[in-house]
Structure 1
């Protein structure tokens, strides 16, 4: 986010705080809270296929933890692994390391150490919703993502960043909060795309039309159908010829 764009957001948001803050407090108090998906956090898709398994890691916030799905097989990790296996023609060994409510900066401290025991062919970073709602500074957002990207690229992985989800479509939020947070999410997303390109990572923008059935009953996280559509979209983007991309690399909500 450019300094000017950030200042514009604050200039618009500050006068609305007397309205927005009570809405935020009430929403936090009354929101339906869903648990992370059940089951183990890793698996293998496409076991009927031959060849060495493609190693996939998803690192991120509540969507990586599978909130909104019954188990991780039906969340982003499992759906993406199945879709990638079908397109690559080989098994995909996936692992999901996610935490509900975590920011990118917190992930550097708490999630990176969990992944130190293994190398991966592809790492998908799924962040943005919590950095939006926690008002992470532009500097902290960029710094955390840079650390994550550099860490996995140094270990030989292809790194892709999923786009910051469009919070203006999260029906659990009152209209005013949707507009303010959607605007801020778009600013962080613009910065994410530029940073990914500069760091040699991939970035997959949101190109799906948001529909109510893509959201879980909490109106905030993806539904099983939402995860399926997202996983298919991301897999299709990932296997496109690299020559069609600005950088080797991938998208999201949280």
Structure 2
């Protein structure tokens, strides 16, 4: 593809910019707050969030304002459910696979559970900023999705698309452009993978891609400036508005896709 050829030519610049961003960007902590619990006394659904620093809620100070907390706030008026969050800053698809293999037969309070009705994944940013190829990443994603499907028998897996790295304020050009193009490529291939998984015979799990609708409602400012307003102070992680919008999409999928089946 054209952007791959251009990125190869720009490789020395991209490497220099990438190292500088890593060196100068502040490392935000994971938010405080419960990662395991339930709403109400009779949960009708089990939810697992699995992933990286965004899944963990980096960018806000408390889980209440992160993805998990916003899902709880938006879904609990409609449905009682139990929840668990297994996420860590720096996680890649490969390291998450490794963690699942290491702890799958142990007494881990989250990963040793027998069943989750809904699993939300957020993995890829740390992959895409490395040198991994799209084909290798897709292979790892396929292994991950097949493993959690076999292990937890979920009704629904919501796979979060890679965010628009081409709009991340902390990234200088041409690094921003290059990572943005790479993210678009990975997302296109990820969508095709989910289509193939859904086409498998006797597949009880529904795989869906979640892509945040980051539209600028303020025509008097640029998209880049809008992103500065809704992202965390580091210009790399989601801010509270993005976590709220992300949770809204998750809740819409749960309520529309499996709520009735879960209550039966």
TM range (shorter): 0.7 to 0.9
1:139 equivalenced with 2:135 (yes/no): yes
2:209 counterpart residue number: 203
User: In the alignment, which of 70, 88, 91 is matched to residue 102 of structure 1?
Assistant: 91
Segments ≥4 residues shifted beyond 6 Å: none
Q: Does the aligned pair in 2 maintain the 1:197–1:203 contact within 8 Å?
A: no
Q: Which stretches in structure 1 are left out of the alignment for 5+ residues? A: 243-254
Deviation by residue 1:141-192 (Cα, 9 ceiling, x = unmatched): 1122112211222232021211111101110111211110010011111111
1:165 counterpart residue number: 163
2:180 counterpart residue number: 182
Point out the structure with max Rg over C-alpha.
2
Shift of 1:75: 0.7
What is the CA–CA distance in structure 2 between the aligned matches of 1:156 and 1:241, rounded to whole Å? Answer: 16
User: How do residues 1-254 of structure 1 correspond to structure 2 at under 5 angstroms?
Assistant: 5=1, 8-45=2-39, 47=40, 51-86=42-77, 89-111=78-100, 113=103, 115-118=110-113, 119-154=115-150, 155-157=152-154, 158-200=156-198, 201-209=207-215, 211=226, 212-240=228-256
Shift of 1:38: 1.6
TM-score under structure 1 length normalisation: 0.83
TM-score under structure 2 length normalisation: 0.80
Deviation by residue 1:75-112 (Cα, 9 ceiling, x = unmatched): 111212322333xx221221111111111111100245
Q: Does the aligned pair in 2 maintain the 1:38–1:70 contact within 8 Å?
A: yes
Shift of 1:51: 4.1
**Count, aligned residues:** 231
